């Protein structure tokens, strides 16, 4: 009988980069547990790629308790780009290489979106570093080549850990908002993160948002006029005289003064991957709706709330399932790959046999597909509803279902 484990004497290191999600600790825990069982010593690299710069910032995760339900990332995060960028001209990939050698890291697992995993892909392609990318983003815009089967037709879709928790949170927030909105017979414009993609905004319709705007469809001058008419009519026809409009933070909206469409930024300062910070479009749209339709409107930013808190159960199981696929890749020493779900399945079917591994060269951004959103109805399609129902259950809306007879003076 063998007494040593297959990977005894080897070290696997995990890092997390980019915006946090409620599912990162769950991913770290799941990968750590499986790698330990295979015999790896497991390190955690702090603050993404930054933890491999300078002298390195690394902790030992082997045989230490880990709380995978707690949201965020205990390994901390940064948007450090090892390769030259506008913000940081220097190529720091050699420092990374040096530390990988110094700390005797045999395999690197990079938990991230397109930016972190894009850098991992380059480390693999340029220097042959054994890398496994692990998907992560509430924006759900990292191409995972997942297939959504609907009425016998296959549609390419995306499923990234972190999105299910974010979507569940947006569903709950939207559902709550109805009470204040109905009380004042208002229009509420609810802003949702997601950068240039509308995946997360769609989850607001699961909490009862009746209208939605996504970054994939530009709001030109003509569309804006049509939108105001549409909103007014929808509001007038709503039984409670109340409307929730979900808008993606990255919506491109026509600015009457400038005569062009633009995005609204909280800060134009770019990060190391060249991204500005969005924020504030809901206020702009709410104020213009009030002016153009005469209906009272308010803006509300969901901001970091959907990104915060505990890992939702679908994400918990999703991260375990993808970590099972990591085991498969480790056993076959098949690097430069990212584990993904091959098909969209409900919670009970999240199993390793539904997974696949895609080449890191094939990762990249994947916006909301055209067949998930209907620009004429400013609303998501049945196809999208089917996709998300697998992940966060049926749409739900809290309702006060009483009608009071009107009193007529005698």
Catalytic residues: 139
- Is residue 332 involved in binding ligand F6P (CB under 6 A)? no
Return the residue of 17, 19, 72, 135 that touches ligand F6P, per CB under 6 A.
Answer: 19
Handedness of CA 72, 114, 41, 56 (dihedral sign): negative
Which residue stretch of 9-17, 62-70, 134-142, 346-354 sits at the interface with ligand F6P (rule: CB under 6 A)?
A: 134-142
| Number of residues located near ligand F6P, criterion CB under 6 A | 11
27 versus 137: smaller Cβ distance to ligand F6P: 137
How many Å apart are CA 214 and CA 210, to the nearest integer?
14
Question: Of 176, 277, 332, 370, which lies in the binding site for ligand F6P, with binding defined by CB under 6 A?
Answer: 277
Task: Tell me whether residue 249 or residue 288 sits nearer to ligand F6P (CB atom).
Answer: 249
Q: Which residue has the tokens 């690197």?
A: 108
Does 17 help bind ligand F6P (rule: CB under 6 A)?
no
Sign for the CA dihedral angle at 207, 208, 213, 214 comes to positive
Minimum CB distance to ligand F6P, residue 306 (Å): 9
Helix ranges (H only) for 48-113 are 93-102
Is 278 a binding residue for ligand F6P by CB under 6 A? The answer is: yes
Burial of 263 per CB tally in 10 Å (0-12, 13-18, 19+):
middle
Nearer to ligand F6P, 249 or 315 (CB): 249
Q: Considering only CA atoms, which of 162, 310, 316, 292 is closest in space to residue 231?
A: 292
Q: Minimum distance from CB of 265 to ligand F6P (Å)?
A: 10
- End-to-end alpha-carbon separation of the chain, Å? 96
Q: Which of 30, 132, 158, 193 binds ligand F6P (CB under 6 A)?
A: 193
CB of 170 to ligand F6P, least distance (A): 11
Distance of CA 242 to the CA centre of its chain: 29
Q: Does 50 bind ligand F6P (CB under 6 A)?
A: no
Its sign, for the CA torsion 122, 166, 75, 278, is positive
Q: Which is nearer to ligand F6P, 24 or 105 (CB)?
A: 24
Q: Which of 148, 195, 298, 325 binds ligand F6P (CB under 6 A)?
A: 195
Residue length of the chain: 410
Question: Is residue 43 near ligand F6P by the rule CB under 6 A?
Answer: no
Task: At 342, give phi and psi (nearest 5°).
Answer: -75, -35
Question: Residue 216 burial by CB count (10 A; 0-12/13-18/19+): exposed, middle or buried?
Answer: buried
**Residue 307 in the binding site for ligand F6P (CB under 6 A):** yes
Taking CB under 6 A as the rule, does residue 111 contact ligand F6P?
Answer: no
191 contacts ligand F6P (rule: CB under 6 A): no
Q: How far is the CB of 139 from ligand F6P (least distance, A)?
A: 5
- Residue 337 contacts ligand F6P per CB under 6 A: no
Least Å from the CB of residue 145 to ligand F6P: 20
Find out whether 42 and 14 touch, Cβ atoms under 8 Å.
yes
The region that residue 45 occupies, defined by phi over 0 for left and psi between -120 and 50 for alpha, beta otherwise, is beta
Asked if 47 touches ligand F6P (CB under 6 A), the answer is no
Q: Which is nearer to ligand F6P, 73 or 355 (CB)?
A: 73
* Tokens 């983003």 -> residue: 137
Burial of 90 (0-12, 13-18, 19+ CB in 10 A): exposed
- Which range of residues in 81-89, 135-143, 228-236, 324-332 is near ligand F6P by CB under 6 A? 135-143
**Interface with ligand F6P includes 114 (CB under 6 A)?**
no
Binding status of residue 136 toward ligand F6P by CB under 6 A: no
| Residue 137 interacts with ligand F6P (CB under 6 A): yes or no | yes
**What are the beta bridge partners of residue 41?**
11
Residues that bind ligand F6P (CB under 6 A): 19, 137-139, 193-195, 249, 277-278, 307
């Amino acid at each position: 009988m063998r007494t040593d484990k297959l990977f005894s004497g080897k070290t696997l290191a995990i890092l997390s980069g980019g915006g946090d999600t409620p599912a990162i600790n769950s991913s770290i825990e799941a990968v750590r547990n499986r790698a330990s069982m295979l015999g790896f010593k497991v390190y955690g690299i702090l603050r993404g790629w930054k933890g491999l710069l300078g002298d390195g910032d690394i902790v030992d995760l082997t045989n230490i308790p880990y709380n995978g339900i707690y949201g965020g990332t205990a390994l901390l995060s940064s948007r450090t780009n090892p390769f030259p960028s506008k913000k940081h001209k220097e190529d720091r990939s050699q420092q990374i290489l040096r530390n990988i050698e110094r700390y005797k890291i045999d395999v690197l697992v990079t938990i991230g979106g397109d930016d972190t995993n894009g850098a991992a892909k380059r480390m693999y392609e340029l220097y042959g570093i054994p890398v496994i990318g692990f998907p992560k983003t509430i924006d759900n815009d990292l191409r995972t080549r997942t297939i959504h089967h609907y009425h016998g037709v296959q549609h390419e879709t995306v499923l990234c850990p972190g999105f299910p928790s974010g979507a569940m949170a947006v569903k709950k927030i939207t559902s709550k908002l109805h009470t204040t909105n109905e009380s004042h017979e208002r229009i509420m414009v609810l802003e949702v993160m997601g950068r240039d993609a509308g995946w997360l905004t769609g989850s607001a319709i699961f909490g009862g948002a009746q209208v939605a705007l996504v970054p994939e469809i530009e709001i030109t001058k003509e569309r804006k006029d049509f939108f105001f008419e549409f909103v007014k009519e929808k509001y007038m026809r709503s039984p409670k005289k109340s409307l929730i409009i979900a808008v993606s933070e990255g919506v491109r909206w026509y600015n009457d003064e400038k005569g062009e469409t633009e995005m609204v930024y909280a800060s134009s300062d770019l990060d190391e991957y060249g991204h500005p910070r969005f924020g504030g479009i809901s206020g702009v749209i709410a104020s213009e709706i009030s002016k153009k339709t005469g209906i009272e409107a308010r803006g509300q930013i969901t901001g970091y709330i959907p990104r915060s808190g505990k890992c939702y159960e679908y994400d918990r199981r999703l991260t375990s399932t993808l970590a099972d696929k990591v085991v498969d890749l480790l056993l076959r020493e098949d690097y430069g790959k990212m584990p993904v779900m091959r098909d969209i399945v409900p919670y009970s079917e999240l199993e390793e046999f539904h997974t696949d591994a895609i080449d890191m060269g094939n990762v990249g951004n994947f916006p909301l597909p055209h067949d998930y959103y209907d620009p004429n109805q400013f609303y998501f399609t049945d196809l999208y509803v089917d996709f998300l129902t697998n992940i966060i259950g049926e749409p739900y809306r809290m309702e006060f279902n009483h009608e009071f007879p009107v009193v007529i003076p005698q």
